[in-house]
Amino acid sequence: MPYDQVQFLGHAINTGPARDPTNNTYAYVGRSNVDDDIRDRIARVRSLLQVARDEAAPDAGILKVMMLPEFYFRGPRGAYTLDQALRVVEGLQALVQDEQWRDWFFAFGSVIAYSYAGDVDPMDDNTEPAEVYNIVPCQIGGYGQDAADAARVVMKEKLSGIDFISSPTSPDGLRGAQDYEAFLLDYVSHLDPMSDIGVDSEVQFVNYGGEGVFKACGFTWGVEVCLDHALGRLQQSSNLPKIAFQLIPSCGMSIKGANIALQTGWVFNVDGLNRGRTSSAAAPGPAHTELLEVVAGNTQSLDPVRVALATLDVAGLYAHGAGELHVYPPQPAIPS
96-116 pLDDT, tens digit per residue, is: 999 999 999 999 999 999 887
198-246 pLDDT, tens digit per residue, is: 456 788 888 878 899 999 999 999 999 999 999 999 999 888 999 999 9
Strand partners, 12: 324
Tell me, what's the pLDDT at 196?
A: 52
Tell me, what's the pLDDT at 180?
A: 45
pLDDT (mean) for 138-161: 90
Q: pTM of the predicted model, to two decimals?
A: 0.91
pLDDT (mean) for 130-139: 92
Tell me, what's the pLDDT at 171?
A: 42
Tell me, what's the pLDDT at 336?
A: 85
Assess whether pLDDT exceeds 60 at residue 176: no
CA distance 301 to 286: 19
Tell me, what's the pLDDT at 125?
A: 60
Mean pLDDT of the chain: 87
Tell me, what's the pLDDT at 274?
A: 83
pLDDT (mean) for 243-259: 96
Tell me, what's the pLDDT at 256?
A: 96
Report the share of the chain in percent with pLDDT over 90. Answer: 65
Which is higher by pLDDT, 284 or 262?
A: 262
pLDDT (mean) for 53-75: 96
State the maximum Cα–Cα separation within the chain, in Å, rounded to a whole number.
60
Superfamily of domain 5-332: Carbon-nitrogen hydrolase (3.60.110.10)
Which is higher by pLDDT, 198 or 259?
A: 259
Please report, for the chain, the start and end positions of each structural domain, with discontinuous segments joined by +.
5-332
CA distance 213 to 224: 9
pLDDT (mean) for 142-152: 88
315 Cβ contact partners less than 8 Å away, ≥ 6 residues apart: none
Please work out, in degrees rounded to the nearest 5, the angle formed at the alpha carbon of residue 45 by the alpha carbons of 289 and 248.
Answer: 30
287-314 pLDDT, tens digit per residue, is: 999 999 999 999 999 999 999 998 899 9
